[in-house]
Amino acid sequence: MGNFGGEPLYHASLDPAEYRSLLDRNGFRVVSHVVEDPDCGGHTIWLAQLI
């Protein structure tokens, strides 16, 4: 749970395999994937390139 504009907000993510599948089906290849990257404030990063 989070908060947006003073209202509670639920956020969910897909399974990493589902992200990869969606990227692949849409013509992208994963260049890099870092879970909870300390260099980006603990965010999970997906870098993909259109092929």
Number of structural domains found in the chain:
1
27 Cβ contact list (under 8 Å, min separation 6) = 50, 51
Q: Is 9 inside a domain boundary? A: no
Q: CA 19 from chain center: how many Å?
A: 7
CA 26, CA 31: separation in Å to the nearest integer? 15
Which tens digit of pLDDT belongs to each residue from 1-51? Answer: 788 999 998 888 899 999 999 999 999 999 999 999 999 999 999 999 999
* pTM for this predicted structure: 0.71
Range of the structural domain that residue 29 is part of? 15-50
pLDDT of residue 31: 98
CA end-to-end distance (rounded Å), the chain: 36
Q: What letter represents residue 34's amino acid?
A: V
pLDDT of residue 6: 92
Cα diameter, the chain: 41
Q: Is 4 inside a domain boundary? A: no
pLDDT of residue 15: 93
Q: Is 2 inside a domain boundary? A: no
